[in-house]
């Protein structure tokens, strides 16, 4: 009866409400940890209803975003808000006067311009949204091929140098195959034997349904936490390193691919999204039915879905990162890099994303190989969310606050340019940050 209960709850929690959305069930796209939470603390079962709501919100938002960025929609004069938001979040200039190609930057435009011109950046941003749209709509039949979702990291077992390396059945590997009860291989010994750099990687053992194996990530991607030789601080409840112990709302683990197969257990292939308790408890689940008051800051429109939304962009593009917090100096026009200072930790929230865009546009321009906003997962999540807010409330949020405006008389922010630009030479967009 207990097994039947869990299965019934699983199905009812993850199937979409047909009247509200047409998205595929979450468990057809992701392998979600829905085990008994009394045995597996990383189970998402206690928050399955919230996760279902979040999944629907993300789909609705992505459908609208992808549609809005298509040339036929983007070019409509009434959709000035879409063009404004691309400027506010990514510094992408848009045309003021429609030409024979319309307002949109075409592939022909991009072919004539340097790689980091607004033409190419807009196409790149559109591509990242399109890539994620494909991922969240792609059903997979095998759980092993799906990205994973865990609600906490307690089920990951940190592996040290002296831990025994395990085989495909989860058993220690003997050094002498003819003597299975003899001395066993230790993890560091095994990795050195197979010419893999143990000392620059982190190793975690996982069990996920019928799957077992290792998640292996690099020190470079997950540098040691302060005061502990581990990728994160130790969770006081378990004594294990956990991203949730650092106050994070979530993280994505992109495991290394093993160079060659051997007798040890497989290394995880798909990405692992870890959603921490804070992602479900510290922010509102749904948006208010009425529009925020005039001048209300965008950060008041923060919702729980933005954590998962942010992590999905890491799944869609391995090159996405979390850019450091940038702080504007009071009283400065924010036109030069010296008008800003770096803060501690990643920049989160709409305001931080818009400040990052202004910093990137400030002089001196960033080099072609130093992108900021277009590789920042938070900027994509908030851009899409803000676009959805504009639709829901019929308001303009491109300055970082809620404003009523007359779309027909909206101020245009940038002229089209055909001049060659070898760096990100982009004009500042007025933003109340």
Alpha-carbon gap, residue 98 to 74, rounded angstroms: 12
Buried b (16+ CB within 10 A) or exposed e, 127-151: ebbbebbebbeeeeeebbebbbbbb
When pLDDT is averaged across residues 349-366 and rounded to a whole number, the result is: 91
The pLDDT assigned to 5 comes to 32
The pLDDT assigned to 35 comes to 94
Nearest of 303, 297, 287 to residue 397 by alpha carbon? 297
How big is the chain by its Cα radius of gyration, in Å? 24
C-beta of residue 46 within 8 angstroms of C-beta of residue 36: no
Strand partners, 158: 204
The pLDDT assigned to 311 comes to 98
3-state class (DSSP) for residue 315: helix
The pLDDT assigned to 312 comes to 98
Confidence grade of residue 12 (pLDDT, cut at 50, 70, 90): very low
**Would residue 263 count as lying in a domain?**
yes
The pLDDT assigned to 53 comes to 97
Confidence grade of residue 97 (pLDDT, cut at 50, 70, 90): low
Confidence grade of residue 17 (pLDDT, cut at 50, 70, 90): very low
Least confident of 9-13, 146-150, 172-176, 367-371: 9-13
**Would residue 203 count as lying in a domain?**
yes
The pLDDT assigned to 251 comes to 94
Mean pLDDT, rounded, of the chain = 84
Q: Does position 421 have pLDDT exceeding 80, yes or no?
A: no
Which residues, at least 6 apart from 408, have a Cβ–Cβ distance to it below 8 Å?
77, 78
pTM over 0.95: no
Q: Does position 111 have pLDDT exceeding 90, yes or no?
A: no
Strand partners, 376: 321
**Would residue 351 count as lying in a domain?**
no
**Would residue 238 count as lying in a domain?**
yes
3-state class (DSSP) for residue 250: strand
Render pLDDT for 230-250 as a digit per residue (tens, 0 to 9): 999 998 888 889 999 888 899
Alpha-carbon gap, residue 25 to 14, rounded angstroms: 6
Domain region containing 244: 152-276
Confidence grade of residue 411 (pLDDT, cut at 50, 70, 90): very low
When pLDDT is averaged across residues 251-269 and rounded to a whole number, the result is: 89
Output phi, psi for 82, to 5 deg.
-60, -45
How far from 338 is each of 201, 332, 345, 353, 362, CA to CA, in Å? 37, 9, 19, 18, 9
Counting the structural domains of the chain, the total is 1
Q: Provide the CB-side half-sphere exposure for 159 (13 A, CA).
A: 24
- Residues listed for the chain: 433
Strand partners, 251: 274
**Would residue 168 count as lying in a domain?**
yes
**Would residue 94 count as lying in a domain?**
no
CA angle 353, 377, 276 (to 5 degrees): 105
**Would residue 5 count as lying in a domain?**
no
When pLDDT is averaged across residues 211-215 and rounded to a whole number, the result is: 94
User: Quick one: how many helices (H) and strands (E) in the chain?
Assistant: 12, 9
Structure tokens at 287: 């948006």
3-state class (DSSP) for residue 340: strand
Render pLDDT for 161-170 as a digit per residue (tens, 0 to 9): 999 999 999 9
The pLDDT assigned to 423 comes to 24
CA angle 79, 85, 88 (to 5 degrees): 150
Helices (H), 207-304: 278-281
Q: What is 119-174 written as a DSSP string?
A: HHHHHHHHHHHHHHHHHHT---S-GGGSPEEESSSTT-EEE-TTSBPBBTTS-BPB
């Amino acid at each position: 009866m207990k097994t039947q209960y869990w299965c019934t709850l699983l199905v009812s929690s993850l199937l979409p409400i047909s009247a509200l959305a047409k998205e595929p069930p979450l468990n057809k796209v992701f392998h979600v940890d829905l085990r008994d939470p009394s045995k597996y603390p990383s189970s998402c079962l206690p928050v399955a209803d919230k996760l279902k709501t979040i999944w629907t919100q993300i789909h609705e938002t992505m459908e609208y975003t992808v549609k809005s960025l298509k040339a036929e929609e983007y070019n409509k004069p009434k959709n000035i808000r879409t063009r404004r938001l691309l400027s506010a979040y990514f510094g992408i200039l848009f045309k003021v006067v429609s030409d024979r190609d319309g307002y949109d930057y075409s592939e022909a435009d991009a072919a004539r311009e340097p790689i980091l011109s607004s033409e190419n950046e807009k196409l790149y941003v559109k591509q990242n949204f399109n890539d994620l749209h494909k991922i969240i709509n792609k059903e997979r039949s095998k759980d092993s091929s799906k990205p994973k979702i865990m609600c906490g990291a307690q089920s990951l077992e940190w592996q040290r140098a002296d831990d025994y390396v395990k085989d495909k059945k989860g058993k220690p590997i003997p050094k002498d195959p003819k003597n299975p009860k003899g001395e066993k291989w230790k993890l560091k010994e095994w990795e050195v034997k197979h010419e893999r750099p143990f000392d620059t990687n982190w190793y975690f053992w996982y069990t996920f349904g019928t799957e077992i194996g290792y998640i292996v990530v690099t020190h470079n991607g997950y540098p040691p936490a302060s005061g502990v030789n581990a990728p994160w601080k130790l969770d006081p409840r378990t004594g294990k390193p956990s991203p949730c112990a650092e106050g994070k709302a979530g993280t994505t683990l992109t495991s290394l691919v093993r160079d060659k197969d051997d007798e040890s257990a497989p290394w995880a292939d798909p990405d692992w999204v870890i959603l921490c308790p804070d992602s479900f408890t510290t922010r509102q689940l749904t948006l208010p039915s009425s529009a925020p008051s005039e001048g209300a800051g965008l950060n008041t429109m923060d919702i729980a879905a933005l954590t998962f939304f942010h992590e999905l962009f890491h799944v869609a593009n391995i090159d996405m990162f979390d850019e450091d917090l940038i702080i504007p100096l009071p009283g400065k026009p924010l036109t030069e890099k010296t008008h800003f200072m770096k803060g501690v930790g990643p920049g989160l929230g709409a305001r931080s994303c818009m400040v990052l865009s202004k910093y990137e546009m400030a002089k001196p321009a960033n080099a072609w190989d130093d992108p900021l906003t277009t590789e920042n997962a938070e900027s994509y999540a908030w851009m899409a969310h803000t676009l959805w807010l504009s639709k829901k409330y019929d308001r303009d949020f491109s300055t970082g606050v809620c404003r009523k405006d007359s779309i027909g008389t909206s101020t245009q922010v940038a002229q089209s340019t055909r001049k060659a630009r070898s760096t990100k030479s982009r004009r500042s967009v007025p933003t109340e940050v």
